[in-house]
Structure 1
Amino acid sequence: MSKKLLSLLFLATPFFTFAQDKGLDQQIDEAFGNATGWFVEIIFYQIPFSDAIRIYWVLFPLIFGAVYFTFYFKFINFRGFFTSINIVRGKYDELENRVDHKVEIQKSTFTNEEDNPDTIRIEGHEGEVTHFQALTAALSATVGLGNIAGVAIAVSIGGAGATLWMIVAGFLGMASKFVECTLGVKYRDIEADGTVFGGPMYYLTKGLKNKTLGKILAALFAIFVIGGSFGGGNMFQVNQAFQLVENITTPVGGVSILHGKVWLFGLIMAVLVGIVIIGGIKKIAKVTDKIVPFMVAIYVVASLFVILSNYDMIGNAFLQIYNGAFSPEGMAGGTVGVLVQGFRRAAFSNEAGIGSASIAHSAVKTKYAASEGMVALLEPFIDTVVVCTMTALVLIITGNVTAENASLNDAQAILLTSGAFESAISWFPYVLTVAVVLFAFSSMISWSYYGFQGWAYLFGRSKNMEYTYKVIFCIFVIIGAAASLDSVIGFADAMVFAMMVPNMIGLILLAPKVKEELKRYMEAIKADKA
């Protein structure tokens, strides 16, 4: 299969080169934009609150849902934090191996009249990956360009105060991640060979009492996640990674060695992605559990170096964050505008409530659904509270929070962040380029898994269907690097946030099921300690 994949990629290369030279990609982009613009406008419609404040409507269900889950589960995002760390460390692994555990599960399954019979054969199965691997696979899809470019845009528009609201949104998002990832494990499907199929498609279909509604919502989610995987999780990632690579390889007043060879960068990335994704979630997890800790560590250490090198400015930076959050003079939209920027970038970065992460977490080896929900709540903390905050502090300390930067796009914002690091570490832009390429690569392989799960739900789980999706995905890697398909990527990003609509409906309706799972798992931990 790998030979067929490589053959298709090489055959496709001349077309993409021709398309770039002749401007065919721009023509396709314009036609596609005209056909799909209505959908993008609906998803990213901004509700005008004043001349200066316009808020995306998709933020409201994400934020209100996160607040609701925080209270409904009695601040699980805080009181369950250290338990989550202990689960990742393997402290409660023995619970999975207890002899009486299966008896307990079978009893609860057969005596609960509301439990879906389709899950009976599943609940005793181990899964495919460890808690740590599931966490890193999900993190690889969220920790990325949004943490670098997105934060730069947020603090440029909203000022230093946007950082505080990003942190608040990160903590609240932990509750949403807990709910969706618990459901992902509870209602997953497991094939005879151990292959796991999970995510919103399955908990919407199996969990909701109204089966017709569940199937409609699941089908919508599957369509959206496929589109999102091709665009936001693929084309956007490789496109932005190339721009930073091209910038770093361009001498002053000269031309990059990659000029005119965009397709080659895309081809190399496509081959690397193809090699990994052919192996499925186990292969993806083996890659991400090494890449993610490495790239996060590099980024955090570099951030700490910049921050500590300017230790005399740390106090002032936090003062700017606090003052800017509540009294942002001169910033767009006042306090509400700063709050919106913080929440917007946090939501775009950690994807809490979108439903994507539950697909990766559903493959975990566990018999307690809530155990993986607990692990998943660490994801927004790492992604937003830690990594995004580090980026913001670097930008604030190095003086890169200015209104002149408010109109930056993501590509320019990455260069702004790179410049902020360069002011303290002259050679760091080279390291950041490597990190960004790794961020993009890990995001692509994880999103390929998300998209395939939606594809398999709609078109079946045969090997032919699997390889068809994966070949198409790899071809889109080349397109993303070589073409200027802004409308296509915009449409795909809209599909990512459209995933929130069916997912959030399911999360609200199935929250009582999650509470039952949490109670069962916490009782098991207490019994084990006794």
Structure 2
Amino acid sequence: MLSTIEAINSAVNNFIWGVPAMICIIGVGLVLSFRTRFLQIRKFPYAMKVTFGRMFKKREASDGAMTPFQAVCTALAATVGTGNIAGVAGAIAIGGPGAVFWMWISAILGMCTKFSEVTLAVHFREKNVHGDLVGGPMYYIKNGLKKHWHWLAYLFSAFGVLTVFGTGNATQVNTITTAINTALMNYHVISKDAVPTVNLVVGIILAVLIALILLGGIRRIGRVTEKLVPFMALIYIVLAVGVILFNIGHVPAVFASIIEGAFHPAAVTGGAVGSFFMSMKKGVSRGIFSNEAGLGTGSIAHACADTRKPVKQGFFGIFEVFVDTIVICTLTALVILCSQVPVSYGQAAGAELTISGFTATYGNWVSVFTAVAMCCFAFSTIIGWGLYGTRCIDFLFGSRVNKPFMLVYALVAIVGATMDLGLMWSIAETFNGLMAIPNLIAVFLLSGVVVKLVKEYFAGEGAKS
């Protein structure tokens, strides 16, 4: 049965993340970049100024909304997660160091894609029956496109509901259990035989915490993420920069291997990864898994922001992709490659490869800190994706199914704690691709609206305020 699921998923995955995905993701990113005259590069300093300025401006949100800072933290909570730790490790192991280069390329284009998604989500959002602000791909399809395109909104929401269980929950829980087990075994607190029991206990605890936070509503989600995200990002960045400084002599060779591996992977991996397309595919797919540019999911959180300026909120999309992929994913890659831990190229790898990069530099004691950081990363992602799943199922069936969905979503944590890593990541990657397609079609069709909103913003008072 398992082998049949693997075979079916592999066939779908190879098609979704083959030529169609490369054309959609890179093509739409290029179209948006050209139409906005590479806004993500041209206005990058302005984007950083606007986002940092609003992030540290303390104020309360109106009922049914989040502050702009809480919205960006919720979106970052969902993006800065296992994609940055286990995802990067897996991309390097299967695609070689060159996969990192393709992550960078997808991120540069993805900045403009995510900017467009957030801008459209705020522009076309609406209020639900409870008075909460709701938006995202399904709403900008419904409110921005003609009726014969509305099937894309239902397709996106259906794939979204399925995706949250793997991408947003099961893979994250798997990373939490891996991090905890590695730390406990390094200190000989548990033996290998005790791992299944520990995983089950961790899964149950997580299920309870997830249910309590999600059932508390949009404001509780915002309050949790605004405290958790800055804390976890700071711990991880400090530890990762330390590894790079301790191994500074290896940095030039590592960057050379990334560039060479992007175009000649066999030369860097000893032939274990010989396909240029495999390197590109893993870099782009894991990059999307990490920063969500093209999936449209991050825009669901931003639609909840208490703001009247869609373009101004859109700049948070540029900021998020930059922080997530250009900063944190690159740091993870450098931790693995600079520490010179052995990488079994061509074979699946996860969080344990990243942890070994830290322990090779600092010693086993650091596994406690990396475990804490990884647990925070993964848990915050679970909360962010819980919101996304709720909005998708609300769009399909109405708010009456929200609470049952949240309870089922929480219980999936127990299942995710005991699943196989390789198959889990592969299934999550497949659903990500399926979810991206209707969203990218919609963003492409609405690219003219994005251009119009950008022109109006910079022509008016928005740019001055």
Q: Scaled by the length of structure 1, what TM-score is found?
A: 0.79
The answer (yes or no) to whether the contact 2:171–2:421 under 8 Å persists in 1 is: no
- Compared with structure 1, are the counterparts of its residues 369 and 446 closer, same or farther at alpha carbon in structure 2 (3 Å cutoff)? same
Partner of 2:164: 229
Partner of 2:14: 45
The answer (yes or no) to whether the contact 2:63–2:132 under 8 Å persists in 1 is: no
- Compared with structure 1, are the counterparts of its residues 266 and 520 closer, same or farther at alpha carbon in structure 2 (3 Å cutoff)? same
Deviation of 1:260 after TM superposition, in Å, equals 2.3
The equivalent position to 1:78 in structure 2, one of 33, 36, 41, is 41
Deviation of 1:400 after TM superposition, in Å, equals 3.2
Whole-angstrom distance in 1 between the partners of 2:221 and 2:111: 24
The equivalent position to 2:91 in structure 1, one of 135, 139, 154, is 154
> Residue deviations 1:34-61, cap 9 Å, x none?
58965x35641249xxxxxx94642331
Determine helix, strand or coil for the equivalent of 1:333: coil
The equivalent position to 1:271 in structure 2, one of 197, 208, 212, is 208
Q: Which letter maps to 2:414?
A: I
Partner of 1:345: 286
The answer (yes or no) to whether the contact 1:43–1:497 under 8 Å persists in 2 is: no
Partner of 1:369: 310
Q: Scaled by the length of structure 2, what TM-score is found?
A: 0.89
The answer (yes or no) to whether the contact 2:69–2:226 under 8 Å persists in 1 is: yes
Partner of 2:439: 503
Deviation of 1:256 after TM superposition, in Å, equals 6.2
Partner of 2:21: 58
- Compared with structure 1, are the counterparts of its residues 368 and 37 closer, same or farther at alpha carbon in structure 2 (3 Å cutoff)? farther
Whole-angstrom distance in 2 between the partners of 1:35 and 1:162: 26
Whole-angstrom distance in 1 between the partners of 2:15 and 2:129: 47
**Which segment is superposed worse, 162-171 or 66-75?**
162-171
Whole-angstrom distance in 1 between the partners of 2:90 and 2:369: 21
Partner of 1:99: none
The equivalent position to 2:411 in structure 1, one of 460, 470, 475, is 475
Q: State the identity %.
A: 34
Partner of 2:372: 434
Q: Which letter maps to 1:408?
A: A
Deviation of 1:284 after TM superposition, in Å, equals 1.1
Whole-angstrom distance in 2 between the partners of 1:323 and 1:489: 27
Determine helix, strand or coil for the equivalent of 2:197: coil
Determine helix, strand or coil for the equivalent of 1:128: coil
Whole-angstrom distance in 2 between the partners of 1:527 and 1:222: 34
The answer (yes or no) to whether the contact 2:178–2:351 under 8 Å persists in 1 is: no
Deviation of 1:233 after TM superposition, in Å, equals 0.9
Alignment of 1:173-322 (within 5 A): 173-191=110-128, 194-209=131-146, 211-214=147-150, 216-250=151-185, 254-255=191-192, 259-322=196-259
> Residue deviations 1:111-130, cap 9 Å, x none?
xxxxxxxxxxxxxx997122
Q: Which letter maps to 2:48?
A: I
Whole-angstrom distance in 2 between the partners of 1:482 and 1:159: 28
The equivalent position to 1:455 in structure 2, one of 374, 393, 411, is 393
Partner of 1:407: 347
The answer (yes or no) to whether the contact 1:181–1:358 under 8 Å persists in 2 is: yes
Deviation of 1:257 after TM superposition, in Å, equals 5.2
Deviation of 1:345 after TM superposition, in Å, equals 2.4
Alignment of 1:511-522 (within 5 A): 511-522=447-458
Deviation of 1:155 after TM superposition, in Å, equals 2.5
The answer (yes or no) to whether the contact 2:174–2:421 under 8 Å persists in 1 is: no
Q: Which letter maps to 1:360?
A: A
- Compared with structure 1, are the counterparts of its residues 491 and 318 closer, same or farther at alpha carbon in structure 2 (3 Å cutoff)? closer
> Residue deviations 1:448-490, cap 9 Å, x none?
110110111111124xx22111111112222222455986775
- Compared with structure 1, are the counterparts of its residues 526 and 484 closer, same or farther at alpha carbon in structure 2 (3 Å cutoff)? closer
Partner of 1:383: 324
Whole-angstrom distance in 2 between the partners of 1:347 and 1:319: 24
How many pairs does the alignment contain?
Answer: 455
Whole-angstrom distance in 2 between the partners of 1:187 and 1:314: 45
- Compared with structure 1, are the counterparts of its residues 492 and 147 closer, same or farther at alpha carbon in structure 2 (3 Å cutoff)? closer
> Residue deviations 1:12-41, cap 9 Å, x none?
xxxxxxxxxxxxxxxxxx38x858965x35
Deviation of 1:285 after TM superposition, in Å, equals 1.6
Q: Which letter maps to 1:348?
A: F
The answer (yes or no) to whether the contact 2:341–2:360 under 8 Å persists in 1 is: no
Whole-angstrom distance in 1 between the partners of 2:56 and 2:258: 41
Partner of 2:50: 87
Whole-angstrom distance in 2 between the partners of 1:180 and 1:67: 14
- Compared with structure 1, are the counterparts of its residues 468 and 344 closer, same or farther at alpha carbon in structure 2 (3 Å cutoff)? closer
Determine helix, strand or coil for the equivalent of 2:348: coil
Deviation of 1:498 after TM superposition, in Å, equals 0.8
Determine helix, strand or coil for the equivalent of 2:253: helix
Whole-angstrom distance in 2 between the partners of 1:265 and 1:91: 36
- Compared with structure 1, are the counterparts of its residues 298 and 242 closer, same or farther at alpha carbon in structure 2 (3 Å cutoff)? same
Alignment of 1:104-183 (within 5 A): 128-183=65-120
Deviation of 1:261 after TM superposition, in Å, equals 4.3
Q: Which has the larger radius of gyration?
A: 1
Unaligned runs of 5+ in 1: 1-29, 48-53, 97-124
The answer (yes or no) to whether the contact 1:92–1:525 under 8 Å persists in 2 is: no
The answer (yes or no) to whether the contact 1:174–1:377 under 8 Å persists in 2 is: yes
Whole-angstrom distance in 2 between the partners of 1:45 and 1:158: 14
- Compared with structure 1, are the counterparts of its residues 320 and 230 closer, same or farther at alpha carbon in structure 2 (3 Å cutoff)? closer
> Residue deviations 1:279-298, cap 9 Å, x none?
22221121111211111111
